[in-house]
Amino acid sequence: MENVKIFIENRKGNPEVEFKLEEILKGCKLSFFDNIDRESGVRGIYPEKDNVAVLSVGQLDLVVRDASSLPYSLPNGIELYALLNKEGAPVGKNDELKKYWAVLGKSGLKDIAVKFSGYDERAKWGKVVLAGFGPGDPSLLTRKAEFNLYKADQIFYDDLTNHEYLDKFCGQKIYVGKRKGRHKFDQELINNMLYQAALEGKWVVRLKGGDPLIFGRGAEEYHFLARRFITSEIIPGVTSAFAAAADAVIPFTERSMASSVAFLSGHDLSKLKIPQADTLVFYMGASMQQDLAMRIVDEGWHKNTPVAIVHNASSKDRKIYRGSLRELITEGSGLPSPAIIIVGKTAAAYHHQSNKWLYTGVSVNDWEAEENMVHNPLIRINAFTPKKHVFSNLNKYNRIVFTSRHAVIHFFKELFAAGKDARDLSGIVVDCIGSHTAGALKNYGLVVKPLTGEESASAMARYYSDNNVSGVRILIPGSERGNQFLADTLKKAGNWVEQQTLYAIEKNTAIVKQDLSKFSGVVFTSPKTVEVFYDVYGHIPAHLQIKCRGSQTAQKLNELSLKSVKIGA
Ligand code: SAH
């Protein structure tokens, strides 16, 4: 380049800049400008417009200005060719860039670059490599990260990094772990430590757990440095979610089950938005796992959705929990931080592969989210027309006792048919059994806490006698014969009881007989499902696992199979 048009900010006050440029660009014809308007004929560019922009439209070749006032990032097509020392510049830690003149020009001016290379102060600086350490197992480190660790003068590491592994590297190790609650201060301190090390010419490796850019604030560190013209580079790492997936053999995007996966932070539930995705993967959620699970259910996820939690993924002492949202809510996993929480059908894929369950109830509501549940109802519900007076004169009852979900559904069906609604129940105590019945009541606007945890008529009868319920007018809507024991107990205690049959549970007339050898388990939802199962299949093959709802169902199983059965959720 023979003729070089150079704009110098504050040219008059800094004559030494011109001399310096003449020395650097020896052999070129230089024209200097300090007032673009007057001398270059270019209008209104400085100070109203950023003079860096001038370069991009080609009126000047180089712009020299105070390095601390440059925009970040530089406009496309503009390159910083050098930072030149200012004479007598102020020395202060926070305004490091005030010490330099920045020389900017259009990108790609090779001969200019060569001429400035020997004068650029940046040549004395080091480099910061932000490298992902991976989830903990050092053998998951990339070769590129390891190469940089060997090369490093200083290695900054924090809590999630396996620090014994670092012993083999010669560089100075500096711990910059963050204690909870001091994030802001610490992050700024870390940024400045990296910056100072680079200014001193050191090759710096900043190790970040997992991948530097996944919930890692790696980008903040990168931009802090890049804004100050420190060369920095990001090396990706294996994020802990991927290690957790590998440990628990959970394919986030298992074909036919999930085509999307979302990575979320479980750190602050008030900020949590759950996107539409098939698999949810939570970082930083271990300390609030139960609240988190409740929140996911509140957002419409089924309680039976599988959950897996992997603590210390990739390490020898890793632990894996598997359950459902329901189980996590009621029992917790017992696994502390650090842990990855995976929610979605694929979280159980490992368990249930070729693992079909036969569901014998009418509705799949309860276990439907479980993988491989095959719905094959053995029973059907036959609705009964109720006695007229029940719904025309509800006032005569003090109490209504619901003993099943179907009782609720059929009761309200008849209530609506009689031209009434939930308001006509005002003043009447409403009791229910178990969470399924309570759930059904909620659909009709009645929030009722189940009287007993155990879902059985005998537990309910026990409750009433323990609480001396007597002299009350009670309506028990429900199935044919279903509530006889409860009704008899209440009557004996001095209550007036009316049973209203609203439906009968009957054998399904259209059962498709299954090859049970292809199933690993069966779900019974009522005594009748057990009865019909024996009717259709003769016995329960030994290889089948059993889940059943309600103590009466378990009792029926015990009667028919002489097997001891554990009551499921
Ligand atoms: N950048 C990191 C995440 C940092 S956030 C990454 O890509 O993995 C910190 C969270 O990461 C922890 O709360 C935990 O949820 C998760 N985590 C980190 N290491 C883990 C490990 N070995 N096992 C399980 N979870 C881990």
- Among protein residues, the one whose CA lies closest to atom 13 of ligand 1: 284
CA of 461 to the centre of ligand 1 (A): 50
CA of 210 to the centre of ligand 1 (A): 6
Q: What confidence score (pLDDT) does residue 209 get?
A: 94
86 counts as catalytic: no
Please check the confidence at residue 465 and state whether its pLDDT lies above 80: yes
Query: Which residues have C-beta within 8 Å of that of residue 542, sequence separation ≥ 6?
Result: none
178 counts as catalytic: yes
Give this prediction's pTM. Answer: 0.64
Tokens of 167: 């012993």
Residue type for 473, please?
A: R
Confidence of residue 91 (pLDDT cuts 50, 70, 90): low
Determine the average pLDDT of the residues in 508-512. Answer: 89
Tokens of 475: 């309506």
Query: Which residues have C-beta within 8 Å of that of residue 269, sequence separation ≥ 6?
Result: 288, 291, 292, 295
| Assigned CATH class of 382-507 | alpha beta
- Burial profile 310-349: b = 16 or more Cβ within 10 angstroms, e = fewer: bbbbbeeebbbbbbbbbbbbeeebebeebbbbbbbbbbbb
Q: pLDDT tens digits, residue range 60-81?
A: 789 898 898 888 888 888 899 9
Between helices 218-227 and 183-199, what is the axis angle to 10°?
Answer: 40
Tokens of 38: 């007057």
d(CA 138, CA 164): 10
Q: Which of 106, 173, 178, 507 is catalytic?
A: 178
Cα 324 to Cα 103, 328, 519: the distances in Å are 61, 6, 21
Q: Which of 341, 318, 128, 136 is nearest to 237 (CA)?
A: 136
- Among protein residues, the one whose CA lies closest to atom 25 of ligand 1: 339
Q: Confirm if 155 and 172 have CB atoms less than 8 A apart.
A: yes
Domain boundaries in the chain?
Answer: 3-123, 125-238, 242-353, 356-378+509-568, 382-507
Q: Which of 210, 413, 165 is nearest to 312 (CA)?
A: 210
CATH fold of the domain at 125-238: Cobalt-precorrin-4 Transmethylase; domain 1 (3.40.1010)
What strands, in cross-sheet order, belong to the sheet with 339-343?
A: 261-265, 279-283, 339-343, 306-311, 319-324
- Among 41-50, 167-176, 424-433, 544-553, where is mean pLDDT lowest? 41-50
Give the residue, out of 160, 280, 335, with the most ligand 1 atoms within 8 A of its beta carbon, to mutate for a pocket test. 160
Phi, psi of 205 (to 5 degrees): -115, 125
Cα 251 to Cα 17, 255, 258, 280, 483: the distances in Å are 61, 9, 9, 12, 47
Q: Do domains 356-378+509-568 and 382-507 have the same CATH topology?
A: yes
Does the CA dihedral 537-541-544-547 come out positive or negative? positive
Confidence of residue 352 (pLDDT cuts 50, 70, 90): very low
Q: What confidence score (pLDDT) does residue 214 get?
A: 97
Tokens of 170: 């010669």
CA of 275 to the centre of ligand 1 (A): 21
- Among 148-152, 211-215, 348-352, 417-421, where is mean pLDDT lowest? 348-352
What strands, in cross-sheet order, belong to the sheet with 379-383?
A: 379-383, 496-507, 473-479, 399-402, 429-432
- Among protein residues, the one whose CA lies closest to atom 9 of ligand 1: 284
CA of 281 to the centre of ligand 1 (A): 11
Tokens of 470: 């007597």
Q: Confirm if 297 and 325 have CB atoms less than 8 A apart.
A: yes
Q: Which of 158, 247, 366, 431 is catalytic?
A: 158
CA of 477 to the centre of ligand 1 (A): 53
For residue 173, what are the β-bridge partners?
155
Please check the confidence at residue 221 and state whether its pLDDT lies above 90: yes
Between helices 527-537 and 551-561, what is the axis angle to 10°?
Answer: 30
Q: Is CATH 3.30.2010 the classification given to domain 3-123?
A: no
Domain range 242-353, its CATH number among 3.20.20.70, 3.30.950.10, 1.10.4030.10, 1.10.287.1080: 3.30.950.10
Phi, psi of 384 (to 5 degrees): -110, 150
Please check the confidence at residue 48 and state whether its pLDDT lies above 60: no
Confidence of residue 436 (pLDDT cuts 50, 70, 90): confident
284 counts as catalytic: yes
d(CA 448, CA 400): 12
Q: What confidence score (pLDDT) does residue 544 get?
A: 82
Domain range 356-378+509-568, its CATH number among 3.20.20.370, 3.40.50.10090, 3.40.50.450, 3.20.20.80: 3.40.50.10090
Residue type for 151, please?
A: K
**Total residues belonging to the chain:** 569
| H-helix segments, 338-473 | 349-352, 388-392, 405-417, 434-443, 457-466
Give the residue, out of 162, 340, 341, with the most ligand 1 atoms within 8 A of its beta carbon, to mutate for a pocket test. 340
Cα 216 to Cα 130, 213, 220, 263: the distances in Å are 11, 5, 9, 13
- Among 74-88, 296-310, 347-361, 520-534, where is mean pLDDT lowest? 347-361
